[in-house]
Structure 1
Amino acid sequence: MTLSFKKDLDKYKDLDEDEILNNLSVDELKQLETALEEMDPENALLPAGLRQKNQTTKQATGRFDRERLLKYLEKEAMEYKDREDIVPFTGEKKAILGVHTLVTSNQTYDGTGAKEGYNNVVKGEKMNPVFDEPPNPTNVEETLDRIKRNDASLTEVNLNNIKNIPVPTLKDFAKAMEKNTHVTKFSMAATRSNDPIAVAFSDTLRENKTLRSLNLESNFITSAGMQSLIDSLRDNDTLTEIKIDNQRQQLGTNVEMEIAKMLEENNSIVKFGYHFTKQGPRSRAAAAITKNNDLVRRRRVEGDQ
């Protein structure tokens, strides 16, 4: 097959190209010129006018008039007959097609309602009332006096949500708790307590050996005041529960690490209310609390035996 193909090509070797071009007509020459032009319609790098040769042979009928062209297009569109709908329109299909979402409330009322109102009965959902919490009924002055007198009937102090207690009065509470031997639970969440109050209660934790639970949540204690509390808890072996979460400022990584170290050294705290922001201190604190609870369980089992 290769030899026969070469034989077919041999007959074109003696052709005279000039003679062929001279025998072409004008139209054939234009077609040849178009075929030989190096144009690429898909080349995005070329300008639009150079991607393809202008093939328009008609003469321009006049100057370009945009307004006249728009009127002509509008006229053609108006005269064009719409295609007839094979399936007639029915109102039941509006919900399937989603048309009901395009209708306003007034249009819906005009179509379905009457002068007396809607035909159907609409019943509102009953809402359960939410009442404000009652204020804390604790008498601050009387409670402070009973703590100072070491009243045996006072075992729990609740000052939560009393925001108008002066700072000196709160310090007096901390000072009175140092020598009290009957109060086992002291709670003062959301009392606007700050660092001086935390320092005062750190002294209380060093002296008091009766207090079992202390709640200082939702206050304004910063890392400095919390560090003082942490230092006092290292030497305290009677407190079993302390809550210090939800302070105005975040305590920071260093304080959280100190908290975890304190819990590892303290064997009495079995409940610690604080949401750690770092994984390392959180894991160490959880392990320490688990260890302390296990110690409590072992002591209880040994006591039963």
Structure 2
Amino acid sequence: MADIEDLELAGLSEAELLELGELIDPDNVLVPASDRIPPHTRKKPTGPYDRSRLLQHLKTQAAESKVGEDYVPFVKRTPKPSKEQSNSQSKPARGATNSTSEFDEMLEMLEPDDVNDLAAELGLHGLVVQSKSRGDDNHPIGGGGGRERTGSGADVSHTPLYLASQVSDDAQEADVDDAIESLQSDDPTLTELNLNNHTRLDPALISQLVEALHGNTHLKTLSLANIRFSEDHAKQLADVLRVNTSLTVLNLESNRITRKGIAAIMKALAENKETVLTELRLANQYFSGGAGAESDIAKHLEKVTSIIRLGYNFTSPSIRTRIDRYVMRNTDLIRQKRASLVV
């Protein structure tokens, strides 16, 4: 049995059908695009499509058409190189001779500190290590760096870095032992420890280093980027962060921390009501934490009121918005506290 609507449409004339088609909303996305657009032509089909016949018709029509006197038929040609291009390819650029040797001479004339600053400015962090690993007694472990203010008012940190090729393995291993000993003794002169890109830190030595942080009350900055810091180390560090009241900057970028390790660190910070950590960097981990890790960070950061700088690669816009809101809240709380102290 045919539908009543089909029977009603069958009884309409062609003009009535066209008028009915004009009543369709052209902006209705539920209707196919072909049904939203009225027909633009009333021409009848001339016959079946024949491609070869159509091409022949176009060629004949083009040959019979009149063209101007300045018409030039298209001929595909290979462009010839200009005189300037040929000269530049045949002759070497002026001053390019011995450029490598001149650059080497310039580097030899620089002081070690200047070379370190140049490497840091170029972003060659994979080729440099911290100053204490050099075995230089003139600088404290991870220290020796300074901050200066540029003309624009921005703070620029200068960490004493140098090429890793200049560091012996024995010196690196000995310096890590000195760092662990200084942490265990709560050395008041050790306020900054930078072990980024350290090549001699095995898992056991990292565990000893984290264990030495228990009871330390003077270390303020700890940088452990790109040392194969794992989930077990993160959980071990979480026990330290749960009671620590001196660390203000913690850098754990480019390591092997999983979602569970990140969650343990954030949970420990949320449980420590006296934490003073203001900067936490967890970006560029070997294992992707996914949306779960981002949710864990946002959930625990809501309870942390000290962090004003957080480094992590968030992919969820909603999570990123929550993180921004918490960071702005913490910044405002610190500003209010500073204002109350001034008054």
Query: Could you say which TM-score interval applies, normalised by the shorter chain?
Result: 0.5 to 0.7
Counterpart position of 2:286: 248
Counterpart position of 1:281: 319
Superposed, 1:110-189 pairs within 5 Å as 122-123=93-94, 133-138=127-132, 139-189=175-225
Closer, same or farther in 2 for the Cα pair 1:122/1:166, shift >3 Å? closer
Q: Which amino acid is 2:130 matched to?
A: N
Q: Which amino acid is 1:212 matched to?
A: T
Using the alignment, how far apart are the partners of 2:212 and 2:302 within structure 1?
Answer: 30
Query: Helix, strand or coil: the match of 1:254?
Result: helix
Superposed, 1:164-243 pairs within 5 Å as 164-236=200-272, 237-238=274-275, 239-243=277-281
Shift of 1:98: 10
Shift of 1:275: 2.0
Counterpart position of 2:341: 303
Closer, same or farther in 2 for the Cα pair 1:100/1:295, shift >3 Å? same
Aligned sequence identity (%): 29
Higher gyration radius (CA): 1
| TM-score, length of structure 1 as denominator length | 0.60
Counterpart position of 1:15: none
Using the alignment, how far apart are the partners of 2:188 and 2:79 within structure 1?
Answer: 71
Using the alignment, how far apart are the partners of 1:45 and 1:161 within structure 2?
Answer: 69
Contact 2:262 2:297 in 1 (8 A): no
Query: Helix, strand or coil: the match of 1:186?
Result: strand
Q: Which amino acid is 2:131 matched to?
A: P
Contact 1:163 1:190 in 2 (8 A): no
Q: Which amino acid is 2:326 matched to?
A: A
Moved more, 290-299 or 269-278: 269-278
Using the alignment, how far apart are the partners of 1:256 and 1:135 within structure 2?
Answer: 30
Contact 2:266 2:301 in 1 (8 A): no
Instruction: Check if 1:270 corresponds to 2:264.
Output: no
Aligned residues: 210
Using the alignment, how far apart are the partners of 2:279 and 2:128 within structure 1?
Answer: 26
Closer, same or farther in 2 for the Cα pair 1:124/1:225, shift >3 Å? same
Using the alignment, how far apart are the partners of 1:185 and 1:136 within structure 2?
Answer: 13
Shift of 1:101: 2.8
Using the alignment, how far apart are the partners of 2:201 and 2:92 within structure 1?
Answer: 54
Q: Which amino acid is 1:123 matched to?
A: R
Query: Helix, strand or coil: the match of 2:250?
Result: strand
Using the alignment, how far apart are the partners of 1:186 and 1:264 within structure 2?
Answer: 23
Shift of 1:228: 1.2
Using the alignment, how far apart are the partners of 2:95 and 2:287 within structure 1?
Answer: 43
Shift of 1:43: 3.7
Query: Helix, strand or coil: the match of 2:177?
Result: helix
Counterpart position of 1:44: 48
Using the alignment, how far apart are the partners of 2:81 and 2:188 within structure 1?
Answer: 74
Shift of 1:163: 3.0
Contact 2:223 2:252 in 1 (8 A): yes
Q: Which amino acid is 1:44 matched to?
A: P
Contact 2:196 2:226 in 1 (8 A): yes
Any unmatched runs of 5+ in structure 1? 1-41, 49-85, 87-96
Q: 1:28-78 CA deviation, whole Å, 9 max, x = no partner?
A: xxxxxxxxxxxxxx64379x9xxxxxxxxxxxxxxxxxxxxxxxxxxxxxx
Any unmatched runs of 5+ in structure 2? 1-45, 53-69, 105-117, 133-174
Query: Helix, strand or coil: the match of 1:262?
Result: helix
Query: Helix, strand or coil: the match of 1:161?
Result: coil
Superposed, 1:12-91 pairs within 5 Å as 43-44=47-48
Using the alignment, how far apart are the partners of 2:92 and 2:283 within structure 1?
Answer: 50
Shift of 1:213: 1.3
Contact 1:163 1:192 in 2 (8 A): no
Shift of 1:231: 1.4
Using the alignment, how far apart are the partners of 2:318 and 2:338 within structure 1?
Answer: 31
Q: Which amino acid is 1:240 matched to?
A: T
Q: Which amino acid is 1:158 matched to?
A: N
Closer, same or farther in 2 for the Cα pair 1:214/1:100, shift >3 Å? same
Counterpart position of 1:101: 79
Using the alignment, how far apart are the partners of 1:213 and 1:121 within structure 2?
Answer: 51
Contact 1:178 1:205 in 2 (8 A): no
Closer, same or farther in 2 for the Cα pair 1:145/1:98, shift >3 Å? farther
Cα RMSD of the aligned pairs, angstroms, is 3.5
Q: Which amino acid is 1:178 matched to?
A: H
Using the alignment, how far apart are the partners of 2:309 and 2:219 within structure 1?
Answer: 18
Q: Which amino acid is 1:101 matched to?
A: P
